[in-house]
């Protein structure tokens, strides 16, 4: 399942071989880098019925009964927790969808998962009920494995509910291991961070993404290399480009930027009304993509080099914008998009927010 991440994998293998696995590990890095995939594989290694095999075979997993169950995400002592939608939702209510999702794409992002379970205009969270269910699960004895493992994907979604798990993480029951998989440490309670040993992952190397795209999508070397260049180490993004050459976010962004430049009020109102229907998680993903575009545009302006990580149509638009927008204007535009992510997370009215943003962006672009 995993590829790349040699540094993090070597560290984890040393922990296994030493027999001193910390009771709480925080895997920190974008899911698209393989962070979740790495944690899933480590959980499987922890449950392997022949740990001596891992020491002698370069940590390659054998097909013992425990490994087989873990590989199918069906081991009774590996419990999963992840963001869901609904005020009282718990992860077990979405187990079927979760297993299918990580079997299909363990590099997926949060938005892809939440839309898969019908988030639409709702934001994901990890609820009080989920925390209580975790406490109950981990109070039970080991069923058949070597450890009880809780693998929590995106503890950022815990918010203040994370306080309910502090004592459990600090003083876990015997043979219990927490594997937390996060992208943004700043959004996790410091009291949780202080109880975990951090395992940082790195952006995937282009050559690793090229090889994976050829293997998993059957692309020729040249096309795989083009996509790997765009992906910036994110295999989930690479898969998205390979599977959907015309990315909706890209087309939507270019259309919006053109409308902001023209500043036609009727056009901006219509665009805003349609955009407001996308749902908050999709809106946040769109803004993240917009920040990526502006970073590459800024690089074009600063370096004057035509090697931005953008597809042809986006690159052409960026090159045109680079002739009329300077460093200050681009950074101001990026700051607005970043602020909007914050406002969406706090349930701002999207019609008002994005119409105001569109007008402000027009003024910045036109120097008014």
Q: What would the pLDDT profile of 268-317 be if each residue is shown by its tens digit?
A: 999 999 999 988 878 987 998 899 899 989 999 988 776 778 878 888 88
- pTM (2 decimals)? 0.80
Residue 196 resides in a domain: yes
Residue 225 resides in a domain: no
* CATH number (domain holding residue 82): 3.40.50.300
CB atoms near residue 343 (< 10 Å): 16
CA dihedral for 273, 276, 278, 284, sign (positive or negative): positive
Residue 189 resides in a domain: yes
195 and 253 both lie in a single domain = no
Q: What pLDDT is attached to residue 247?
A: 62
| Domain with 289 in it | 248-366
Residue 232 resides in a domain: no
| Phi, psi torsion values for 153, nearest 5 degrees | -95, 125
Rounded CA-CA distance 186/159 in Å is: 11
CB atoms near residue 261 (< 10 Å): 16
* CATH number (domain holding residue 350): 1.20.272
Number of domains in the chain: 2
Residue 299 resides in a domain: yes
Boundary-marking domain end, from 202, 223, 256: 202
Kindly tell me if the per-residue pLDDT of 208 is higher than 70.
yes
Residue 307 resides in a domain: yes
Kindly tell me if the per-residue pLDDT of 40 is higher than 70.
yes
Residue 219 resides in a domain: no
Interval 141-190: pLDDT, tens:
999 999 999 999 999 999 899 999 999 999 999 999 999 999 999 999 99
324 and 191 both lie in a single domain = no
Q: What pLDDT is attached to residue 60?
A: 61
Residues 6+ apart with CB under 8 A from 233: 30, 32, 33, 202, 203, 204, 205, 206, 209
198 and 253 both lie in a single domain = no
Interval 243-257: pLDDT, tens:
876 667 888 999 999
Residue 93 resides in a domain: yes
Q: Please state the separation of Cα 236 from the chain's center in Å.
A: 9
Interval 53-99: pLDDT, tens:
665 545 566 679 999 999 999 999 999 999 999 989 999 999 999 99
């Amino acid at each position: 399942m995993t590829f790349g991440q040699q540094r993090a994998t070597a560290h984890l293998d040393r922990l296994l071989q030493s027999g001193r696995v910390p009771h709480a590990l925080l895997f920190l890095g974008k899911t698209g880098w393989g962070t979740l995939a790495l944690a899933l594989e480590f959980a499987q290694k922890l449950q392997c019925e022949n740990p001596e095999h891992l020491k002698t075979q370069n940590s390659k997993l054998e097909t013992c009964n425990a490994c087989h169950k873990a590989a199918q995400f069906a081991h009774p002592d590996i419990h999963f927790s992840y963001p869901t939608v609904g005020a009282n939702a718990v992860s077990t209510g979405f187990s079927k969808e979760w297993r299918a999702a990580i079997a299909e794409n363990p590099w997926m992002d949060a938005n892809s998962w939440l839309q898969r379970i019908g988030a639409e205009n709702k934001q994901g969270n990890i609820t009080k009920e989920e925390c209580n269910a975790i406490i109950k699960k981990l109070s039970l004895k080991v069923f058949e494995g070597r450890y009880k493992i809780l693998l929590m994907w995106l503890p950022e979604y815990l918010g203040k509910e994370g306080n309910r798990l502090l004592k459990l993480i600090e003083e876990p029951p015997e043979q219990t291991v927490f594997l937390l998989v996060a992208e943004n440490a700043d959004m996790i309670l410091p009291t949780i961070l202080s109880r975990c040993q951090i395992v940082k992952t790195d952006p995937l190397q282009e050559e690793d993404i090229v090889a994976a795209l050829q293997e998993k999508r059957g692309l020729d070397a040249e096309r795989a290399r083009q996509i790997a260049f765009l992906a910036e180490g994110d295999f989930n993004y690479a898969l998205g480009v390979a599977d959907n050459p015309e990315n909706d976010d890209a087309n939507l962004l270019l259309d919006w930027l053109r409308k902001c430049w023209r500043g036609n009020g009727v056009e901006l109102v219509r665009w805003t009304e349609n955009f407001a229907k996308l749902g908050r998680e999709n809106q946040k993903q769109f803004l993240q993509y917009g920040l990526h575009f502006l970073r590459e545009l800024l690089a074009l302006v600063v370096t004057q080099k035509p090697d931005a990580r953008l597809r042809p149509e986006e690159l052409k638009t960026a090159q045109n914008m680079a002739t009329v927008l300077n460093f200050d204007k681009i950074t101001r535009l990026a700051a607005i998009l970043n602020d909007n992510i914050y406002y969406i997370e706090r349930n701002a009215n999207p019609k008002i927010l994005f119409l105001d943003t569109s007008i402000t962006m027009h003024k910045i672009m036109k120097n008014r």
